[in-house]
Amino acid sequence: MNVQNIKLRFGIIGNSYKLNQGINIASQVAATDLSVLITGESGTGKEIFPQIIHQLSSRKHGNYIAVNCGAIPDGTIDSELFGHEKGSFTGAHDSRKGYFEVANNGTIFLDEVAELPLSTQVRLLRVLETGEFLKVGSSKSLKTNVRVIAATNVDLLAAIANGKFREDLYYRLNTVPIVMPPLRSRGEDILLLFKKFAADFSDKYKMPPIKLNEDAIEMLLKYRWPGNVRQLKNVTEQISIIAEERDINAEILKEYLPNYDIAKLPAIFNNEFLDNKTFATEREILYKILFDMKNEITELKKTVNIIMNAQETNIKYSKSQENLIENLYSSENEYLKKDFKIEPVKLLENEEILDDGLSLTNNEKELIKKSLSKYDGKRKLAAQELGISERTLYRKIKEYGLE
């Protein structure tokens, strides 16, 4: 089943590259029994991928059980997942089957998996490795044949470094990773989702649908949406019910967007009581933003250079170049084509774009030193935080003499 058919079947709205990539991975892995780890911010819609995987798999006729690990108290989570024997604890008046027993030959979705206690993580690791588990209060090993899919909005590598998540469990769960992009990076998908929600609430509440004018559309697309799709849906519902006008302008829309002005300036700390620690934190944020900007600008220059050189010399694109060009001109990048006139550029030998003591080279070096120090020299974790590959980090360490 292709990506478009999957969207129609599961009611998925959007055309962004990363969304389509996630759907494609889910459809390919469905035929296997590999564990899948879905990551992404809260409210992005991670729960749709386990349903896709289950429904497209050979287990579709088996049970599908979704478990919110963060909503179950630590004292009862083992009983919920693995079951218990009669009399195993106070209140255990009867034996009970756990989710892993009930979902045999089916799929179990562990949402907010980072919230599991360490003791439960050990039990889960055993199920993933051997397919065996023990009920609470029992010494008899039981077998289960369950496909495990997990999701989290937590940085698991940071949780591992802080001793809150088992590294061996992470690698067991992360056999196939799927990343759900935040709404703010999905471009025109925001407007598509708004229109869909507006139509749905119009039918639900028997009211004319709301419409956005050009200024409101621009504001909708610029907002950072910290609550992602969930927040967009709530905002659309609020406007549909409360707003007297059906034609929504920017002034009306702004009333429903919390901290709109602040959201456009993420590095500004709005507090009259500032100390040295605050300034140090903001400097690190600024360094990280500048570091990411440099990498993005460099990649964009390379991509544009590839396009222009190929056009000028009539050279055929390689596969990797075709992917870059497809990504650059995809529907999610329409704003690039509107706001920027692409012209031939020469890659700069010196990538420093700031002066007066605030060069990117110096700040990049300082940021790398801080990350390495934070993780006691562990390059893998430092690279994850910096958003670069270990290979790139190793090259930068050699380049700046940080060995």
Q: Mean pLDDT, 10 residues at a time, over the chain (403 residues)? A: 93 94 96 96 96 96 96 91 84 86 96 96 96 91 96 96 96 96 94 96 95 95 94 96 94 90 48 44 59 68 61 50 51 44 40 45 78 83 79 82 78
Q: How far apart are CA 47 and CA 179, in angstroms?
A: 12
User: Which has the closest alpha carbon to 371: 161, 182, 152, 170?
Assistant: 161
> How much is the pTM?
0.65
- Distance, in Å, from the CA atom of 131 to the CA atom of 200, rounded to the nearest integer, reads 43
Candidate CATH numbers 3.90.79.10, 3.40.50.720, 1.10.287.130, 3.40.50.300; the one for domain 3-181: 3.40.50.300
Return contacts of 252-256, CB within 8 angstroms, 24+ apart.
252/216, 253/212, 253/216, 253/219, 253/220, 254/219
What is the C-alpha to C-alpha distance for residues 127 and 145, in angstroms, rounded to an integer? 9
- Count CA atoms within 13 Å of residue 320 on its CB side: 3
For 142, the enclosing helix (H) or strand (E) is strand 141-143
pLDDT at position 359 is 55
pLDDT score of 403: 73
Per-residue pLDDT at 345: 39
Q: Of 231, 195, 237, whose CA–CA distance to 216 is shortest? A: 195
Which 8-state DSSP code applies to residue 403?
-
Ranges for all domains in the chain classified under CATH 3.40.50.300: 3-181
pLDDT of residue 269: 40
CA–CA dist 365, 194 (Å, integer): 42
CATH architecture assignment, domain 184-263:
Orthogonal Bundle (1.10)
Question: Buried (b) or exposed (e) across 328-348, using 16+ Cβ within 10 A?
Answer: bebebbeeeeeeeeeeeeeee
61-94: per-residue pLDDT in tens? Answer: 999 999 999 999 988 999 999 998 887 777 777 8
What residues are paired with 133 via a beta bridge?
142
pLDDT at 81: 96
Cα 4 to Cα 206: distance, rounded to the nearest angstrom: 30
How does DSSP classify residue 257? S
Q: Which residues pair with 78 in a beta bridge?
A: none
Distance, CA of 394 to CA of 388 (rounded, Å): 10
Write down the residue that tokens 């979705």 correspond to.
Answer: 109
Give the model's pLDDT for residue 319.
Answer: 53
Which ranges in the chain are annotated with CATH 1.10.8.60? 184-263
Helix 17-29 / helix 48-55 crossing angle, nearest 10 deg: 40
Distance of CA 72 to the CA centre of its chain: 23
Q: Would you say 250 and 242 are in contact if contact means Cβ atoms under 8 Å apart?
A: no
Best CA proximity match to 191, nearest among 222, 227, 149: 222
Q: What is the pLDDT of residue 277?
A: 43
CB 66 within 8 A of CB 50: yes
CA atoms within 13 A on the CB side of 296: 8
Residue whose entry in the numeric block shows the structure tokens 């959007």: 14
Whether 263 contacts 226, CB under 8 Å: yes
